[in-house]
Amino acid sequence: MRIAQVAPPWIAIPPKSYGTTEYVIYHLVEELVALGHEVTLFAPADAHTSAKQVSFIPKSLITEGVPWQATLKAYYHLHKSLEYIAEHDFDIVHTHLASSSDMYIFPLAALMPTPHVMTLHGYFPFDRTVDNWTGDADGYFMEWAQHVPLVATSESARKQVARLAPQAHFAGVVHHGIHVEECEISAQPIGDYFIWQGRFTYEAGAHLAIEAARRARQPLILAGIKESHNRDAMDYYRHLVEPYINGQDILYIGPAMYRNNIELLRQARALLAPLQWEEPFGVEMIKAMAMGCPIISFAAGAATEIVDHGRTGFLAHDAAEMAHYMNYISDIDRRQVQAHVERYFSARVMAEKYLTIYRNVITSPGGGGGVTTPANTQPLVGAATSDMLSA
């Protein structure tokens, strides 16, 4: 199968530290190539891949220091990628919606005859900025978006989108996957610490991981990213996280690079994930589990689809319950944790599910290519758009 994978241009593939979407795209592309398919990856030139690579910009935008609000280069990357695809022969185009600039894909691909499927890595609304400003532009884009078959990364994410954007239709649900064979359970004795990873935002719940660790009297390592450009996130960090970091039982080590991250997870007693939002998926969870590291998560979002309560970790409802389960983490068989990921969240399982969706989209009426009804070309004068997503 001739497959075009169009990656967002912001973070390198594979990412050097944080970059969930890019991490997943890397594993998907590598597995599709291993299965014998002709894959072309459209990404900035600093990507590393076994696929054929087509690039229109030299570096991923974050590497260049481009702020998220500056989307001109992102638009250029997407426009040139889809222009190239229109001039060449592909069986399927797979795009990825992770940030607001990816919304440009909808109008750019509207008249593209090649069958098209898009994975929804983020959540609506996408018309928002890092300082929590939210607009109503998502509603305008629905005239194109409703004609693109979407793939949700969890049943939780699919249900959430169905509430917010009922016009959207889904070709299926595919959980993220990774190359489990690259991960090994540590042969060394497990360390005495728990670990939290993510961005220091209220939604990621670092303050609750700290509360749980203090309740359980267990050491905690925070491997997080400070969002210096986000005033609310920095206020959160200064008031709810930083005062408790003492370099002993609560230790902050900064964002963990890939190799260091692997060793941290191998040795951790468990990864704490006290999520305060309906996360569409949790790649950090399956990365940890692939190395035998159990998860203690709040029962929110996709966590209930990832964690098998009592077998691969525990699902809690508050910090007190999380602290309770921390004292029973030794009851979890770490080899069983890894086996669970291999069975349900491997790159091979993910790739095979996508191939099934590709075939279904290709053979369906219209094939997911092009707008099947004329787009609205009439100007909206004085029209209210704030409720268009739920219309």
The reported pLDDT for the residue numbered 383 is: 35
Question: pLDDT tens digits for 151-203?
Answer: 999 999 999 888 877 878 899 999 999 999 878 887 676 889 999 999 899 99
Phi, psi of 177 (to 5 degrees): -140, 160
Q: Is 62 helix (H, G, I), strand (E, B) or coil?
A: helix
Mean pLDDT of 1-28: 93
Provide, rounded to the nearest whole percent, the portion of the chain with pLDDT above 70: 91
Is pLDDT above 50 for 388?
no
Q: What length is written for the chain? A: 391
- Angle between helix 283-290 and 258-267 (nearest 10): 60
| Residue 244: Cβ within 10 Å count | 17
Task: Say which range, 186-195, 300-309, 350-359, has the weakest mean pLDDT.
Answer: 186-195
Is residue 45 predicted with pLDDT exceeding 50? Answer: yes
* Each residue's pLDDT tens digit, 105-163: 999 998 899 999 999 998 888 888 776 788 898 889 988 988 899 999 999 999 988 88
Q: Which of 32-41, 52-61, 240-249, 256-265 has the lowest mean pLDDT?
A: 256-265
pLDDT at residue 290 is higher than 80: yes
Is the pLDDT reported for residue 250 higher than 80?
Answer: yes
C-alpha distances (whole Å) from 5 to each of 39, 85, 221, 323, 386 are 7, 10, 36, 42, 32
Instruction: Quote the CA–CA distance of 121 and 174 in Å, as a whole number.
Output: 11
Please say if the pLDDT value at position 83 is more than 80: yes
> Residue 122 is encoded by which pair of tokens?
């983020």
Per residue in 253-263, pLDDT tens? Answer: 988 765 677 88
Least Cα distance to 82 among 9, 31, 176 occurs for 9
**DSSP state string for 81-118:** HHHHHHTS--SEEEEEE-SGGGGGHHHHTTT--S-EEE
Q: What is the mean pLDDT of the chain?
A: 89
Return the exposure string of 184-196: e unless at least 16 CB atoms fall within 10 Å of the residue's CB, then b: eebeeebbebbbb
Which position has the higher pLDDT, 391 or 95? 95
Q: Which of 71-80, 122-131, 318-327, 353-362 has the lowest mean pLDDT?
A: 122-131
